[in-house]
Amino acid sequence: MTSTLFYSALVLGIIALVAAVVLYVVARRFAVKRDERIDQVAALLPGANCGGCGFAGCSAMAGALVKAADKGDISSLQCPVGGSGVMRQIASTLGVAAVATEPMVAVVRCNGDCKLRPVVAEFDGVRTCHIMNMQGRGESACGYGCLGCGDCVAACRFGAISINPDTHLPQVDTGKCTACGACAKACPRQIIELRPSNAGKGRIYVACRNTDKGAVARKACQAACIGCGKCARTCKHGAIEMQGALAYIDYTKCVTCGDCVAVCPTGAIHADNYTAQNIAS
């Protein structure tokens, strides 16, 4: 009996030893070497894992940056949370040229508050923007504007967006906004857009997404763009184009002169951090 147990244990020990050797050899033979630069870059990234860079997280972004650096150019990749400062550090670590990027912030392209866009229905269901949007226009007559349920607020990891209790519209704290784009992705009606922060000059944009013709749009919301085209005709810089019955301001051409704000008959063109003294030379 004792000898049987001894030989059984010996055989199991030999099998375990052989298996360990085989596993060791296989592990060494097929080991995937990790580029140490990936860990170095990952340590420089903010670790927010917000997805604003277009990758699943900071580790994936670090890997992409290293691959791009091997080709000599990382300009196509940006970390919106870390900004230019972090990208300069990464460029220095990887030995490539740094590319300056303009800081961006989220803007809300809807100006239809409770007074301008009255409630015409009551939604009796789970109050999320996605669910309400799937059910129809929502609680107002405008099928393009903010639904006010706060999906964008829930998506923001930085506390940079909140629902104004008076207007029931999202408001962005530009001091906290990292331009990760999570709020824009969460909005089922695409009313949140990233635009340059344009420090010192402000941002001018059409705070409306209603593509209906003038009379229909104005009936749904008093602050809607009615597609009259006055702003486009007034702009001396070709920054405004009419997309059907909706005006859109191209921020790459806009010089924040404010002429379009002055001529808009419905107040659909919104100006953030803008004063008359910000007029471009």
pTM: 0.77
Express each pLDDT in 33-49 by its tens digit.
Answer: 778 899 999 999 998 88
Tell me the residue ranges of DSSP E strands in 137-180.
161-163, 170-172
Domains and their CATH numbers in the chain: 36-94 (1.10.15), 104-278 (3.30.70.20)
Please give the average per-residue pLDDT across 169-194, as a whole number.
94
pLDDT for position 172: 95
Is 182 in contact with 52 (CB distance < 8 Å)?
A: yes
Which residues, at least 6 apart from 66, have a Cβ–Cβ distance to it below 8 Å?
Answer: 35, 37, 38, 41, 94
pLDDT band at 280 (very low <50, low <70, confident <90, very high): very low
